[in-house]
Structure 1
């Protein structure tokens, strides 16, 4: 049975601590699917000049390139001096999968899928040995998906259930996305991404024939 764990880690002990400090109010979110050669990071809450200055000030950043600029956020490809974001060895050495990672106000929130509780325990021990003050916020055991179950992650299901409970889907809305993110203890951007991935999964389940779903899984 796989296990999903959510950690809260101080940026100063892990990665981009200086950049996060210089870009007060910004949120940095890892976008692992965009670049296969180096990490890509969405930066929101600040303008381009502030984001550039934050990367320039951080001694761990070797090079950064702006890929996408929208009204609300910026996407950068980033190379680090030691060719790592500083957490890979500690968290993913036993085959863990990084699901989400976002940082703001001096902290990183990281979600990782582990093969078992034992591999989670080993990863936590490695963080401690590396001098990283890891705060394990949540642990969820994930069983295999059957025909009667949803393919939503526990976090995605939690977000949708909270949205329904607080009237987010009502007209007019009973709560804003910013307020709902506060209720869940995550950033606005993280909640938006959970909704996006949950909608994609639900639409895929609804539109894809049952036989094709079984083969895809």
Structure 2
């Protein structure tokens, strides 16, 4: 497992984001990728997993029956419910158990939020948000303790005064930082989405869209920016 270096952890006390990559066999849905190797999974919502549940959008061609069978037999899934088909795949609500449940609970307890969670080719990519670089180090230690075989690919600071190369718009940056400071990512949350939208003087729908675009941009940046080093 690649750990964040001392250089990346020193000095910065700004909220920080990091991208970790985990093999499916060390986290979840191994059965799905064995049955449908080209399946793509994306976790819906602003927070990838505020509790033991997740809303997953799974894209896998015409393999609906194989998806159903794989999810119901996977050792990382306690319960699953299909909500129907969308343009980009099928939506499922899953209840985690085992390692994914323990990992989620421990990250939340360490004040670390999963803002994006997606998988393809049998590999998961997590985007984390923590109060500072030490929070990212705590996340690394948790994944190491649970034998997740995670690889930290990038770390960056979310500074109020600069985007730090993230490509976020000022509105997206403000929404993320305000949400974090107001306790939106805590469990239980200190502020609801509606209250946060009021705080930012925008509609609930506008807030959801702002979050969605911000998380996409953070993940896109993390895929090509690696804190000055290539992965």
CA distance in 2, matches of 1:49, 1:8: 28
CA distance in 2, matches of 1:196, 1:129: 31
CA distance in 2, matches of 1:43, 1:73: 5
CA distance in 2, matches of 1:43, 1:94: 29
**Whose relative contact order is higher, 1 or 2, with alpha carbons under 8 Å and at least 6 apart?**
2
Q: Tell me what 1:120 maps to.
A: 136
Give the aligned CA root-mean-square deviation in angstroms.
3.1
8 Å CA contact 2:79, 2:95 repeated in 1: yes
CA distance in 1, matches of 2:68, 2:61: 10
**Structure 1 residue 80: deviation in Å?**
2.9
**Larger Rg over CA atoms:** 1
**Structure 1 residue 62: deviation in Å?**
2.4
> Runs of 4 or more off by more than 6 Å in structure 1?
34-37
Q: How many residues align?
A: 159
Cα offsets for 1:84-120 (capped at 9, x unmatched): 5442134333211211000111110000101000111
Pair 1:75–1:83, CA change in 2 (3 A): farther
CA distance in 2, matches of 1:23, 1:12: 14
**Structure 1 residue 17: deviation in Å?**
2.1
TM-score normalised by structure 2 residue count: 0.59
CA distance in 2, matches of 1:54, 1:22: 7
TM-score normalised by structure 1 residue count: 0.63
Q: Tell me what 1:44 maps to.
A: 59
Superposition pairs for residues 1-217 of structure 1, below 5 Å? 1-32=14-45, 38-47=53-62, 48-82=64-98, 85-144=101-160, 150-152=170-172, 197-198=213-214
Cα offsets for 1:25-45 (capped at 9, x unmatched): 011111135997721111013
8 Å CA contact 1:29, 1:102 repeated in 2: yes
Pair 1:134–1:194, CA change in 2 (3 A): farther
CA distance in 2, matches of 1:3, 1:50: 38
CA distance in 1, matches of 2:15, 2:50: 25
Pair 1:81–1:4, CA change in 2 (3 A): closer
8 Å CA contact 1:90, 1:127 repeated in 2: no
Pair 1:55–1:73, CA change in 2 (3 A): same
